[in-house]
Amino acid sequence: MSTLVVVGAQWGDEGKGKVVDAVAAEADVVARFAGGNNAGHTLVVEGRTLVTHLVPSGCLYPGTRCVLGAGMVIDPVVLAHEITTLRGLGLLANDELRVSLDAHVIFPFHIELDALREDAARQRGRAIGTTKRGIGPAYEAKAARRGIRVRDLFDRATLTERLGQNELQAAHEAERLGGRLGTGAREWLAHAEEWATWLAPIACDAGAFCHDAIVAGRRVLFEGAQGALLDVDHGTYPYVTSSSTIAGGACTGIGIGPTAIDGVWGISKAYATRVGAGPFPTKLASNGKDLIGDRLRELGAEFGATTGRPRDCGWLDLPALRHAARLSGMTGLAITKLDVLAALRKVEVCVAYEDGIDPGTHGLFSAKPRLQACEGWDDPDVLPQLRAARTLEALPAVARAYLDLVADATGVPIALVSVGASREETIAVARPFT
Ligand code: IMP
């Protein structure tokens, strides 16, 4: 097995940064296939916290090639900042980063339109709660065939024409929404020319790069962003992101065939969170102080790595997780933040929905969870024993039973368990590349 796809199995923020970091230790190439800087991967290494939004978590390993695939939308301002920060830490040497020529570029007007649309939608009570990073407008321009790809930055005639076309459309929309664009095509062209200078040496056919690596027997990790239930086709539409977040997105977002994928790990927290609008059947009440939802948010530091927004918290939703497992054909499950759950005295889990409702996309809008209480978490020894565990056998019995319940409900074996924020606090059950 030389390729593995790692995807989120909930609504994003499952702890992909830490899991990808663990798997990347054994990978030669780590390639991201979707989304942009709406994602935020928090990495804790030697007590230092790093957040990356674009560069895959493989950047922490010298020699590992990091690839941004064609399915991504890339804000060069953010990418330049990340490259500078990582190089300042002695990471990401010159030849370690590759950017697809076919990835789309986020310009300032995409970000402005995202914010104007959200503000207008909020007034009508219809906001999605986007990250306001320009993700939706950039993907929309791509589908409308007026998007600007990395390769277009090197073609002045196409670039000028395309920027002019976008300026007209964006200025008109901004005005209709009661706003005004801060900059125009002339400024965007100047930005684009500067971006082209430093993107030129790292831009390539990322699909061919990954294909060649696979053929040469290298271990390639395909890193997803967000989570299954935010997938534009299979998530809780319209409360979704604009890209394919499930494992199939690795094929289209990189440019490889399904037969090139050997395994798929899905990542789920031991509980559930969601940020932004949309259905969340197991959401727990919060009053900002002392309800279980508040406790989970506080213990799990559930605030967006990108926007800082507080996340809604709830119990683990097994029917939704089973659905996500099916969507991505998962071969392994990585369960994160089990220590956060263990810090609670009372734990519940959703085992089904009332009235036999199925989660399949629209079911989540009306699903009422049937909760099952999990006994035994109130023992004060559970948390220290759990955090010290480095094998499944060393886990407290109540945690093992919980993981068995998850594996049985989804039909997917546990591949990895995270019992704390640091790299060391990890139980590696299965080898990612075997
Ligand atoms: P967008 O991707 O910024 O357009 O936001 C669309 C929806 O996806 C909103 O509900 C966001 O909160 C959500 N979203 C986007 N990226 C992430 C992420 O990395 N974690 C969690 N939610 C996200």
Tens-level pLDDT at each residue, the chain (434 residues)? 799 999 999 999 999 988 998 999 999 999 999 999 999 887 766 677 788 999 998 888 999 999 999 999 999 999 999 999 899 888 888 789 999 999 999 999 999 999 999 999 999 999 999 999 999 999 999 999 999 999 999 999 999 999 999 999 999 999 999 999 999 999 999 999 999 999 999 999 999 999 999 999 999 999 999 999 999 999 999 999 999 999 999 999 999 999 999 999 999 999 999 999 999 999 999 888 789 999 999 999 999 877 889 999 999 999 999 999 999 999 999 999 999 999 998 999 999 999 888 877 689 999 999 999 999 999 999 999 999 999 999 999 999 999 999 999 999 999 999 999 888 999 999 999 98
List of residues 6+ apart from 412 with CB closer than 8 A: 266, 325, 330, 331, 332, 333
Task: State whether 108 and 149 are in the same domain.
Answer: yes
204 three-state secondary structure: strand
93 three-state secondary structure: coil
Residue among 13, 102, 114, 231 flagged as catalytic:
13
Distance 285 CA to ligand 1 centre (A): 21
And the tokens for 259? 């037969």
Task: State whether 394 and 378 are in the same domain.
Answer: yes
Task: Tell me the CATH number at 384.
Answer: 3.90.170.10
End-of-domain residue from the set 260, 277, 301: 260
Task: State whether 75 and 212 are in the same domain.
Answer: yes
User: In this structure, which residue's CA is closest to atom 1 in ligand 1?
Assistant: 130
13 noted as active-site residue: yes
Residue 374 placed within a domain: yes
Q: What is the pLDDT of residue 422?
A: 87
Q: What is the pLDDT of residue 306?
A: 79
Task: State whether 188 and 211 are in the same domain.
Answer: no
**Does any ligand 1 atom lie closer than 6 A to the CB of residue 73?**
no
List of residues 6+ apart from 19 with CB closer than 8 A: 6, 265, 267, 334, 336, 416, 418
End-of-domain residue from the set 260, 279, 296: 260
Handedness of CA 404, 406, 410, 415 (dihedral sign): negative
C-alpha span between 263 and 412 (Å, rounded): 12
And the tokens for 418? 């995270």
Task: State whether 10 and 88 are in the same domain.
Answer: yes
Q: What is the pLDDT of residue 277?
A: 94
Q: What is the pLDDT of residue 261?
A: 97
How many Å is the maximal CA-CA distance in the chain? 68
Residue 183 placed within a domain: yes
And the tokens for 219? 């271990």
C-alpha span between 305 and 310 (Å, rounded): 10
- CA 307-252-161 angle, to 5 degrees, is 75
Task: State whether 140 and 280 are in the same domain.
Answer: no
Burial (0-12, 13-18, 19+ Cβ within 10 Å), 434? exposed
**Does any ligand 1 atom lie closer than 6 A to the CB of residue 13?**
yes
Residue 341 placed within a domain: yes
Task: State whether 314 and 359 are in the same domain.
Answer: yes
Phi-psi region of 355 (alpha: psi -120 to 50; beta: other; left: phi over 0): left
**Does any ligand 1 atom lie closer than 6 A to the CB of residue 242?**
yes
Distance 165 CA to ligand 1 centre (A): 28
End-of-domain residue from the set 199, 217, 247: 199
Domain that holds residue 362: 268-428
Asked if 27 and 60 count as a contact pair (C-beta separation under 8 A), the reply is: no
pTM: 0.96
Which atom of ligand 1 is nearest the CA belonging to 131? Answer: 3
Residue among 41, 104, 110, 323 flagged as catalytic:
41
Residue 433 placed within a domain: no
Task: Tell me the CATH number at 113.
Answer: 1.10.300.10
**Does any ligand 1 atom lie closer than 6 A to the CB of residue 229?**
no
Task: State whether 88 and 115 are in the same domain.
Answer: no
Instruction: Give the number of domains in the chain.
Output: 3
Task: State whether 211 and 195 are in the same domain.
Answer: no
191 noted as active-site residue: no
154 three-state secondary structure: helix
Q: What is the pLDDT of residue 361?
A: 63
Q: Count Cβ atoms below 10 Å from residue 248 Cβ, excluding itself.
A: 21
Task: Tell me the CATH number at 85.
Answer: 3.40.440.10
Backbone φ and ψ for 22, nearest 5 degrees, come out as -65, -45
Task: State whether 381 and 240 are in the same domain.
Answer: no
Task: State whether 29 and 118 are in the same domain.
Answer: no
Task: State whether 155 and 233 are in the same domain.
Answer: no
Residue 434 placed within a domain: no
